């Protein structure tokens, strides 16, 4: 019933910026915690940032000060603003919606590649 679609990935130079978007099709978006995760080839998927329904945020140490997560409940959309990108940020970025019941939804991912 709920689908998440990421967009905004691409190729950037080190030090550049990208803004990822995650659009949710369902009406349950506003009740859940949204998270951004990333996975590089051959590596485990890791949490990048998350934001609760009340607006509380958490970030991985590796992206603190560089990435900003936000959400617009009226548009059923979450965002990840990425600045000062580094080659080690290269990965497929996924959004995730978790709602207490519990429901757990994942998007298909969007590729971010940062050249050195």
70: pLDDT confidence band, cut at 50, 70 and 90? very high
In sequence order, the 6+-apart residues with CB closer than 8 A to the CB of 95 are 4, 6, 20, 22, 34, 35, 36, 37, 78, 80, 106, 107
Q: Which residue has the higher pLDDT, 111 or 1?
A: 111
**31-55, pLDDT tens digit by residue?**
899 999 999 999 999 999 999 999 9
- Counting residues of the chain whose pLDDT is more than 90, the rounded percentage is 84
Length of the chain: 116
- What integer is the mean pLDDT of 61-85? 96
Q: Give the chain's mean pLDDT.
A: 94
Q: What is the pLDDT of residue 1?
A: 75
- What integer is the mean pLDDT of 7-27? 95
Q: What is the pLDDT of residue 31?
A: 83
Transcribe the chain into DSSP letters: ---EEEE--EEEETT--EEEEEEE-STTGGGSEEEEEEE-TTS--EEEEEE-TT--EEE-TTTTTTEEEEEEGGGTEEEEEE-S--GGG-EEEEEEEEETTTEEEE---EEEEEE-
Q: What is the pLDDT of residue 15?
A: 98
- What integer is the mean pLDDT of 60-70? 98
């Amino acid at each position: 019933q709920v689908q998440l679609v990421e967009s905004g990935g691409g190729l950037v130079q080190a030090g550049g910026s990208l803004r990822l978007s995650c659009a949710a099709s369902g009406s349950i978006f506003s009740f859940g915690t949204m998270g951004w995760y990333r996975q590089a080839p051959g590596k485990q998927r890791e949490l990048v940032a998350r934001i609760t329904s009340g607006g509380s945020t958490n970030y991985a140490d590796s992206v603190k000060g560089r990435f900003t997560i936000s959400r617009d409940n009226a548009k059923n959309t979450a965002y990840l603003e990425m600045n000062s990108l580094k080659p080690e940020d290269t990965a497929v970025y996924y959004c995730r919606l978790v709602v207490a019941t519990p429901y757990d939804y994942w998007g298909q991912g969007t590729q971010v590649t940062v050249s050195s």
